[in-house]
Amino acid sequence: MSVESPPLLTTTREREPSSQLHDRPSIAVHWLRAAAIGLAVLMLAALTAVWPALTLVGLGLVLIIALAFFAPPFALVGAILFYGLEGAIKVGLARELPALGVTPESVGAAIIDFVFLVAVLGVVRHDRGRALLEIWRNVGRSIRIALALLAAWIAISVIQLAVSGDVDSALAGFRLSQAYVVAVLAGAMLLARSRSELVVKALVGVLLVITAYAAFRAVAGPSETERAAAFARSTTALVPTEDGVIFRNSGSFSSAIGLASFLVPAGVFLFALGLSFVRLRLAAWLGFALVLVALVGSYVRTSLVAVAAGVLFAAALLTFASGLARTRKTVLGLAGVPALVVLIALGALVPTAVSGGSQAVEQRGSGLLRPLSDPSLTTRVERWRESLDSVKAHPLGTGLGTVGGATRDSEGRVQAFADNSYLKVLQEQGPLGAVPFILGIFGVLIAIAARVTRSAMPLRGLATAAVAGSASFFLLAWTSEAIEQPGKVLAWLLLGVALWTASGAPERERAAQPQRPGEAA
């Protein structure tokens, strides 16, 4: 009687060749993937070597688009990084795109605006406007009225744009001043339905990158390409010395004014954030110190005044806030005093120390201590009078795009400017546009500040930092046309964040969700 082989063994022997046949394609696919990745890395390295700026900007654009779909709040934070690097992007493109029919600066501005638009659309898609409705329902009447005034300013601007005689200039002016108000809506939705502490940490990290480079350039001076770009731009101010000129630090921005417009709200936001959030204090105050170094190198003295005012404003809000222990109020309130002393010392002494004995630089530094006798202040006041004379001659306004960056000629010179954002709006749009703009801005800021001091809220420190940062920018706007500069995006965004936190939305979200361990309060 024969014994048959066990079916299991027979089956195993029969399947072995088949499994080997199936393994061969998987190994081939594995090597093909490895080869494709290696080829992609080599191509990327080659592109970076030939066109570094264009390649890095393209990678950043792809990353922002991906984040807009999968993590919209971080896409918006990434867009802030693009605005913080706007000068570096334009300088890099100017070297690599000489054959284009348009100027590289226009290409750079279009890319940055596109990144911002993609990020905003991603946040809107993520939130679907629910945060905006919640804010409108829960804020007080004063904030609603102020927001309605801002909306009326935008509506009036659109009407004036439609009836403008020079549509191209009007569109350029509208883009520079009015279009970025949408950042308020994006900021209001930024932290809704997301891990707010992670988004805030990402924003602090982005600000640290920008401030660190700006401080480095304040000490080391501009690179060769930045130096060449500074000479090419007639609008880049240079401080004269006995031996030549001293570059006003512009960091990764196109000008010293652009740097100041961004670092002023960033510095105040970081300082106030460090007052309330222990885990962010080291990073936030390090960023604040870097901001001071960078601003001193820019020789924009009004920026130091705006930072000092913002620091004192934040300290005052926390000092008079209800629901805080008296000891903590005293510590928080007094923190602004030494900061103000340090700011005055830096603004007055450091420029003199680094000037090498230049009387012009010493005069600019001492202007902080004797502001009324400073020649530049006299020049600015005279320009304000000229702007007011233009308002008297044109009570309905000279039209959008007739003052500021929209009047820049082919050589980069601005033909008409007011050295004051509010006078710029008044001169262009008349009282019909300027009144709702000014009342809306300061109405929102004052109403949020009052709400922060009166109402207990889970993220009071964040609300204080956001409103103080935004307020410092609009204070700087009194002595410059900052409303056209890159810092406007950060200022409008912080205003939206302040609206969201002041409305009590974080408290209602926490009540609806289980508390996460280690969440910032």
Within a domain: 169 = yes
Within a domain: 11 = no
Neighbours of 221 (CB within 10 A): 13
Query: Does residue 105 sit in the same domain as residue 181?
Result: no
Within a domain: 520 = no
- Tell me, what amino acid is at 51? W
Query: Does residue 141 sit in the same domain as residue 38?
Result: no
Burial of 286: CB neighbours in 10 Å, binned 0-12, 13-18, 19+: middle
Rg for the chain, CA atoms, rounded: 27
| Rounded alpha-carbon distances, angstroms, from residue 274 to 265, 280, 287, 315 | 14, 6, 10, 11
Query: Does residue 456 sit in the same domain as residue 350?
Result: yes
Query: Does residue 111 sit in the same domain as residue 170?
Result: no
Query: Does residue 395 sit in the same domain as residue 506?
Result: yes
How confident is the chain (521 residues) per 10-residue block, as mean pLDDT?
Answer: 48 49 62 74 68 82 93 95 91 71 70 94 91 88 93 94 83 90 94 85 96 90 77 59 67 89 96 87 90 87 89 86 56 59 60 54 56 66 86 88 77 74 92 94 94 75 93 93 92 95 67 42 36
Query: Does residue 155 sit in the same domain as residue 123?
Result: no
Within a domain: 6 = no
pLDDT at 118: 95
Query: Does residue 174 sit in the same domain as residue 98?
Result: no
Last residue of a domain, one of 128, 157, 185: 128
3-state secondary structure of 401: coil
Within a domain: 17 = no
Residues 54 and 97: their CA atoms lie apart, in Å, by 9
pLDDT at 259: 93
Strand-pairing partners, residue 246, are 239
What are the DSSP calls for 140-201, one per residue?
-HHHHHHHHHHHHHHHHHHHHHHT-S-HHHHHHHHHHHTGGGHHHHHHHHHSTTS-HHHHHH
- The whole-model pTM stands at 0.85
pLDDT at 213: 94
- Tell me, what amino acid is at 358? S
Query: Does residue 118 sit in the same domain as residue 264?
Result: no
Indicate the number of domains in the chain: 2
Residues 219 and 232: their CA atoms lie apart, in Å, by 22
DSSP state of 504: T
Last residue of a domain, one of 68, 100, 128: 128
Within a domain: 9 = no
Query: Does residue 270 sit in the same domain as residue 309?
Result: yes
DSSP state of 516: P
Query: Does residue 347 sit in the same domain as residue 280?
Result: yes
pLDDT at 234: 53
Within a domain: 519 = no
Range of the domain at 232: 137-512
What are the DSSP calls for 128-151, one per residue?
TTHHHHHHHHHS-HHHHHHHHHHH
Last residue of a domain, one of 81, 99, 128: 128
Rounded to a whole number, what is the distance in angstroms from the first to the last CA of the chain?
84
The three-state DSSP-derived secondary structure of 96-123 is: HCCCCCCCHHHHHHHHHHHHHHHHHHHH
Query: Does residue 204 sit in the same domain as residue 232?
Result: yes
Cα–Cα nearest to 307, from 270, 334, 278: 270
pLDDT at 519: 39
Query: Does residue 221 sit in the same domain as residue 115?
Result: no
pLDDT at 422: 94
Within a domain: 4 = no
Residues 303 and 127: their CA atoms lie apart, in Å, by 35
